Amino acid sequence: MDQTTPIEALPATAAGATAVAREAARRRAFAIIAHPDAGKTTLTEKLLLRGGAIQLAGQVRAKGDRRRTRSDWMKIEQDRGISVATSVMTFERDGVVFNLLDTPGHEDFSEDTYRTLTAVDAAVMVIDAAKGIEAQTRKLFEVCRLRDIPIITFINKMDRESRDVFELLDEIEKTLALDVTPAAWPVGSGRGFLGTYDMLEPALHLLAEGSEPVKLSGLDDPKIDELVPAAEAEALREGAELASAFPAFDLEAFRQGTMTPVYFGSALRDFGIGHLLEGLARFAPHPGARPADTRRVQPDEAALTGFVFKIQANMDPNHRDRVAFLRICSGRLEKGMRLRQTRTGKQVPVNAPLFFFAQDRQVAQEAWPGDVVGIANHGILRIGDTLTEGEQINFRGVPSFAPEILRRVMIEDAMVGKKLRTALEQLAEEGVVQLFRPLDGTPPVVGVVGALQLDVLAERLKAEYSVPSRYEATPWGMMRWVVSDDKAAMEKFRQSAPHDTAEDHDGALVAFFTSDWRRNRAEEEWPMLKFLKLREQHAAA
């Protein structure tokens, strides 16, 4: 396929492309993945600025009346300059509708990030030019690889001291086992960074404020010598010539997740962002077929289907609201529809579906495959739920992982016990923590992947529910979900260990263990049971 192919349509029907197919072809749902401090939040803001979603870009740690990054709307995010919640932002540019899911950048929130990545069709991997591939980048990339998500790489902070470009590209190639193809080539670096050369459609993008790309005939175009100092022009030609040894861009390989085009820029200085957006519009896939338990769902089907990948409580603290984030997979969502929740068979009214801009929102009259909308949720919807116009299907791939840290939540004032139970229920619904109710009636246990989640839980309990709390250690080092077709064996196990068993937020049986040895012993003693480290969310009854 031609590298410069613009947005392509989904396969047309005999009578021409349907409205669903046309609208789906305009959508690009993508996430940004990065190690903390690589510049993800700043890049998010500048993408929104370029997309016309905001008129003023602030800084993550802005002071006084300077606006904070709109995707980081929780107080703890603003205080610490990190992202700990998934934000959804929708904007349109040059006929393409972008749905940007800003994922947590901290490793302690990897489960939330994993669930978010089930809702996107592509990802932008942000790499610090001075640091290269970092631990969290590698972890998040592996999550993308599990789903073969196409990845566009953005090497950020080129205007600061950086590593050699070939060294960076070689590291991406070897560390992540990806074919690398430069979509751009930097002109200078550090304080001498002047811009980039477009490798796919020869043009010069200069860092100078307000400058437009200069079209070129190629590397030998004399315009380069007019616009770039001699030493930098020579280095550009030499570097770009050597870079031609990398594989040529292959759209199919990119969409299969085996090749990444690489862009360069500086998010802080708003450079390279427009070029990156063009790449997303041209190369990132529109919504594709989605696997469900009985069949694959095509995006241009007339009947609506979608799945809930996140619940967010208290986005508007004044209203104590709970919103379910629904990724639409097929059909057209219209305001006022009633959809079937396949887990329970209940009808869910969608009276005011919401489009998001971080915590801000507006009612959507309609939405299409690739869009993410919010549905007011009063405890009915769960993460992993599938909604349809009647068909009994469940989308796959929205998991829960066994937490690595288990703590009891304690309160000093027994009078707020009921408020604590309500708060933990809502925050477990949201996926902030996993909640377990021990069968022996002792205080609730929360499970998290990383310690920062405990800080967030305590902060939100205090700020949103007025419940000061503290944590107590538990004797357990791990938990597993207990499943079996043998109901009698399940009940016998439940009764045999009331002090080491609990029910999770969905009523599923879990077992706590003090060590791997204890877990192995249980597996030997109860061969009719399975002890799972991961389970599909939709399996909850």
Distance of CA 99 to the CA centre of its chain: 11
The reply, when asked if residue 202 is annotated as ligand binding, is no
- Unique residue bearing structure tokens 């619904």: 429
Q: Are 503 and 437 in contact (CB under 8 A)?
A: yes
The reply, when asked if residue 530 is annotated as ligand binding, is no
Q: Are 382 and 78 in contact (CB under 8 A)?
A: no
Using DSSP's 3-state secondary structure scheme, residue 15 falls into: coil
- ∠ at Cα 209 (270, 215), nearest 5°? 95
The reply, when asked if residue 468 is annotated as ligand binding, is no
Distance of CA 334 to the CA centre of its chain: 25
- Unique residue bearing structure tokens 């009854």: 541
Both tokens of residue 84? 């700990």
- Unique residue bearing structure tokens 């919401």: 354
With b for 16 or more beta-carbon neighbours within 10 A and e for fewer, the 339-376 pattern comes to bbbbbeeeebebeebbbbbbbebeebeebbbbbbbbbb
The reply, when asked if residue 505 is annotated as ligand binding, is no
The reply, when asked if residue 443 is annotated as ligand binding, is no
Cα of first residue to Cα of last residue in the chain, in angstroms, is: 46
The reply, when asked if residue 156 is annotated as ligand binding, is yes
Q: Are 501 and 507 in contact (CB under 8 A)?
A: no
- Unique residue bearing structure tokens 């770039």: 228
CA pair distance 22, 188, nearest whole angstrom: 42
Using alpha carbons, list the distances in angstroms from residue 239 to 137, 171, 201, 233, 245.
26, 17, 17, 10, 10
Strands 366-367 and 333-334: antiparallel
Q: Are 271 and 277 in contact (CB under 8 A)?
A: no
The reply, when asked if residue 158 is annotated as ligand binding, is yes
CA pair distance 330, 298, nearest whole angstrom: 6
Both tokens of residue 443? 């205080």
The reply, when asked if residue 102 is annotated as ligand binding, is yes
CA pair distance 450, 430, nearest whole angstrom: 17
Neighbouring CB atoms inside 10 A of 253's CB total 17
The reply, when asked if residue 103 is annotated as ligand binding, is yes
Neighbouring CB atoms inside 10 A of 534's CB total 10
Secondary structure of 386-410 in the HEC alphabet? EEECCCCCCECCCEEECCCEEEEEE
Known binding-site positions for GTP: 102-106, 156-159
Known binding-site positions: 102-106, 156-159
